[in-house]
Structure 1
Amino acid sequence: MSARTLQNAYGTLTEPTTLTVQRRLPGPIERVWAYLTDSDLRRQWLAAGDMPMEVGAKVELVWRNDELTDPPGRRPEGFPNEHRMSCRITELDPPHRLAITWGSTGGVSFVLAEDGDRDGVLLSVTHRRVDERSTLLNVSTGWHMHLDVLVARLTGQQPAPFWDRWTGLRHEYERRTPV
């Protein structure tokens, strides 16, 4: 199995307001789980924040997207240098399933499944109840880009400049997403 197989796969609307994005990653599954749950590893591709491993636990995620790639690229207007969001763990089944609340949406679930041999992992990220198109475009673009950075981290590659790639993906999601 090639870790690149789904590297550029676009998220799909599995329901009118539900986005699902998948990536094949090099395992083992416990390694990928650590990148979801350990603050130091998660901050390398998404956001920092301690995550107590218990349903109901509070998590504050802290995004610093300018620090994800070197160079970071040009940040679009309206995006702060840092963004914080309080979440709660709603489901937990290590190392296979993690679900958390996510702002005003229906939450995000991460599902890990061994894919082929022990060294392959399929990650499915599902973001539910993203009602507004503008939010859906940002969410789709964001998950796509953050997951591409995760693939790069797990495969020892250099990710593309975050904001430059994000901007290109945003235009593509505008084209692909129904009005």
Structure 2
Amino acid sequence: MSSELGVFVERDGQPAVRLERPFPVPAGRVWQALTEPAELAAWFPSPTVAMEQTVGGRIEFAGDPYADDGFGTVLEFDPPHRLGYTWGGDELLFELGPRGEGCLLALTDVLEERDAAARNAAGWDVCLGELEKLLTGGAPTGPHGEAAGDWRARYDAYVAAGMPSGAPVPEGGDPG
């Protein structure tokens, strides 16, 4: 998992966290991991995701032990460059661009609550670590698996870096 921390930003006047990760695979391969249910199960917080792959389409989430099952709306769908959708009260935007022989993934989580920044950034760090395993031939166990990254250490690093914090941490203390 990358040791580089994400950053707190504003997007259209809303609080957000942004994380970037380079991957040594083409954007099309990362796009597959962002959109195919079997691939999402390996790294996304909700292991069951069903998406109508079109702007305005419905996306359903289930199985996250730290969040209620729910649905969202696809806001952007431009393969293999931009994917955006609502997730709970947040909006997620995934942007892919070239980087060397591979690509760069930028994930922006537009937050419903400013004080969720450190918590969510730490969770996405763990998720992106699992995505990296998936894309580089490792053995992802999902972000809630025992072999996933250390959410608490990442959270503490974000808090120490001054990222807004204070949102409730789910029972068990590791929503990653």
TM-score normalised by L of structure 2 = 0.78
Deviation, structure 1 residue 139: 0.9
Structure whose residues are more often strand by fraction: 2
Gap change, CA 1:164 and 1:144, over 3 Å in 2 = closer
Asked if 1 retains the 8 angstrom alpha-carbon contact of 2:123 and 2:151, the reply is yes
Task: Tell me if 1:12 matches 2:10.
Answer: no
Distance 1:164 1:27 in 2: 21
Distance 1:158 1:8 in 2: 19
Distance 2:122 2:49 in 1: 22
2:21 match: 23
Note the alpha carbon deviations across 1:83-139, whole angstroms, 9 max, x for none.
Answer: 42311100110110000012223x11000112123xx01000011144331x22221
Distance 2:15 2:66 in 1: 28
Gap change, CA 1:112 and 1:28, over 3 Å in 2 = same
Asked if 2 retains the 8 angstrom alpha-carbon contact of 1:29 and 1:113, the reply is yes
Gap change, CA 1:167 and 1:104, over 3 Å in 2 = same
- Bigger mean CA offset, 37-46 vs 123-132: 123-132
Runs of at least 4 residues of structure 1 off by over 4 A?
Answer: none
Gap change, CA 1:63 and 1:143, over 3 Å in 2 = farther
Identity rate, percent: 28
Gap change, CA 1:116 and 1:163, over 3 Å in 2 = closer
2:3 maps to a residue whose letter is N
2:94 maps to a residue whose letter is F
2:36 maps to a residue whose letter is D
Question: What does 1:67-106 correspond to in 2, within 5 Å?
Answer: 80=65, 83-105=68-90
Secondary structure in 2 matching 1:156: coil
Secondary structure in 1 matching 2:69: strand
Aligned length: 155
Unaligned stretches of 5+ residues in structure 1 = 65-79
Asked if 1 retains the 8 angstrom alpha-carbon contact of 2:59 and 2:72, the reply is yes
Question: What does 1:1-179 correspond to in 2, within 5 Å?
Answer: 7-15=2-10, 17-46=15-44, 47=46, 48-64=48-64, 80=65, 83-105=68-90, 107-117=91-101, 120-133=102-115, 135-158=116-139, 161=146, 165-176=150-161, 177-178=163-164
Structure whose residues are more often helix by fraction: 1
Asked if 2 retains the 8 angstrom alpha-carbon contact of 1:49 and 1:61, the reply is yes
Unaligned stretches of 5+ residues in structure 2 = 166-176
Asked if 1 retains the 8 angstrom alpha-carbon contact of 2:114 and 2:164, the reply is no
Q: What is the RMSD computed on CA atoms of the aligned residues?
A: 2.3
Gap change, CA 1:35 and 1:169, over 3 Å in 2 = same
